[in-house]
Amino acid sequence: MRTKPALRTELLFYLSFFAAAALLVGVATTVVVTSVVPRQEFWMVMVLVALEVGIFLVFGRHLVTRLVLQPLERLMATADAVADGELNARAPDAETRDFATLAERLNRMTDHLLDAQSQLVRSEKLASVGRLAAGIAHEVGNPLGAAGTYVEVLRRRGAEPEVIRGLSRELDRIDHIIRSLLDYARPQEEALDLVQPDEIVRGAFALLGAQGALKAVQATLDVGGGVPRVRAHAHLLEQALVNLVLNAVDAAPGAAVVVGTRRWAYDPGRAAPRRDNDPGLSSFLRQPARRPARVEFSAGAPGALVFVADAGPGVRPQDREKIFEPFFTTKAPGRGTGLGLAIVARAVHEMGGVVWVDTAREGGAAFKMFFPEATA
């Protein structure tokens, strides 16, 4: 990529060239015309010199307009659009290094504003839904307990066993939803601990393997070296990882599921992270997308990336933002409550990390959690 010239260098070069050229042309015109035109027609010499100087001034004005005024107007228009709330506005590139750098920094500032706004909206949404979930769980929990008591009374009075089993099954399902709501609404007030993500990944993978939860898929453990320690709750991170793996198993029966972690420098932009063993050409085109961010850490922040990738149908691009919202599910009715990923997102957010979904190298969904490296 060619290095762009500095604005000061460009202006000094062109203006010096124009000044020297104007001076030389003026002197040459004076010498030539005075030797040909009679002295009483000297005013014609001055007119020609003035005309030549005017031409150079027009070129100089065009130069200043192209290198200074037009880029400045574009930057001002972008800044006004951002001030009016259009956070998707971006400053265009410029010919000189100074305005190109200024445009890049303005765009970076806009990205930070967009990230801060998204985080604020998400925090307010989490708080609102959390309060609503806590209220619903409290109000539904009491009649649910009473309904369970009445079912037990019916069982003792000799009601049909199939009816009792059906009632008990549906009550257990409601109880599971209530417990999930409480898990989502319950804030974590414990201090974060120093944890080693690769150890948690290995432990969760071994636990699921011992339980037989991975028999239906071709599960692979892919743990990189040098993964830094992060601040988190070990049990919450393990729970989030188990939820993601079980979702992958459900989405990709008989197909590949990869669970792993990497040392990674966070990049909220559009560059797709690669695994160490990625081939030069992937069978599946992974479209990079902007990732969620936190104002606490910026681009390039070192940390740990924990991922669960599968070869299932994946997540549609229009659903990637909604999939972490409570009660949003792509499963068939009765197969999911839409709270699993919402609980994962809430837990990751409270532990200071971010979670998002990309297209996996295997062709399905790749759920990724990033936590910044612990400084102490």
Domain layout of the chain by residue ranges: 7-95, 121-182, 191-372
Distance separating alpha carbons of residues 208 and 304, to the nearest angstrom: 22
Q: What percent helix, strand, coil does the chain show, rounded to 5?
A: 55, 10, 35
What number is the average pLDDT over the span 189-205? 88
Q: Check residue 105 and give its pLDDT.
A: 83
What number is the average pLDDT over the span 288-298? 59
Residue 4 scores a pLDDT above 80: no
What number is the average pLDDT over the span 222-229? 89
Residue 287 scores a pLDDT above 60: no
Of the pLDDT bands very low, low, confident and very high (cuts 50, 70, 90), residue 110 is confident
Residue 93 has which token pair? Answer: 């590139």
What number is the average pLDDT over the span 325-352? 74
What number is the average pLDDT over the span 97-118? 78
Distance separating alpha carbons of residues 9 and 200, to the nearest angstrom: 56
291 secondary structure, DSSP code: P
Cβ of 364: how many Cβ atoms within 10 Å?
A: 21
* Longest CA–CA separation in the chain, Å: 133
Check residue 369 and give left, alpha or beta (phi > 0: left; psi -120 to 50: alpha).
beta
Q: Check residue 55 and give its pLDDT.
A: 73
Q: Check residue 32 and give its pLDDT.
A: 65
Q: Check residue 35 and give its pLDDT.
A: 67
Q: Check residue 199 and give its pLDDT.
A: 93
Q: Which residue has the higher pLDDT, 125 or 191?
A: 191
User: What are the Cα distances from residue 150, in Å, to 92, 153, 158, 168, 173?
Assistant: 69, 5, 13, 11, 17
Spatial CA neighbour of 323 closest among 333, 312, 335, 331: 331
3-state DSSP assignment of residue 357? strand
Q: Which residue has the higher pLDDT, 343 or 299?
A: 343
Q: What is the secondary structure of 47-81 as a DSSP string?
A: HHHHHHHHHHHHHHHHHHIIIIIHHHHHHHHHHHH
What number is the average pLDDT over the span 35-49? 62
164: enclosing H helix or E strand: helix 161-185
318 secondary structure, DSSP code: G
Of the pLDDT bands very low, low, confident and very high (cuts 50, 70, 90), residue 11 is low
Listed in order, strand segments (DSSP E) in the chain are 193-195, 218-223, 230-232, 256-265, 302-310, 354-359, 365-372
Chain Cα centroid distance, residue 27? 63
Instruction: Specify the CATH architecture of the domain 191-372.
Output: 2-Layer Sandwich (3.30)
Distance separating alpha carbons of residues 243 and 354, to the nearest angstrom: 16
Beta bridge partners of 365: 359
3-state DSSP assignment of residue 325? coil
Residue 18 has which token pair? Answer: 């124009």
Of the pLDDT bands very low, low, confident and very high (cuts 50, 70, 90), residue 293 is low
Residue 319 scores a pLDDT above 70: yes
Of the pLDDT bands very low, low, confident and very high (cuts 50, 70, 90), residue 284 is very low
Q: Are 360 and 308 in contact (CB under 8 A)?
A: no
Q: Are 347 and 186 in contact (CB under 8 A)?
A: no
Residue 166 scores a pLDDT above 60: yes
What number is the average pLDDT over the span 199-210? 91
Distance separating alpha carbons of residues 309 and 245, to the nearest angstrom: 9
Residue 201 scores a pLDDT above 90: yes
Residue 342 scores a pLDDT above 60: yes
Q: Check residue 253 and give its pLDDT.
A: 87
pLDDT in tens, 233-282: 888 899 889 989 998 998 888 889 999 999 988 776 544 455 555 544 44
pTM: 0.60
Q: Which residue has the higher pLDDT, 153 or 301?
A: 153
Residue 321 scores a pLDDT above 90: no
Spatial CA neighbour of 108 closest among 302, 268, 1, 264: 268
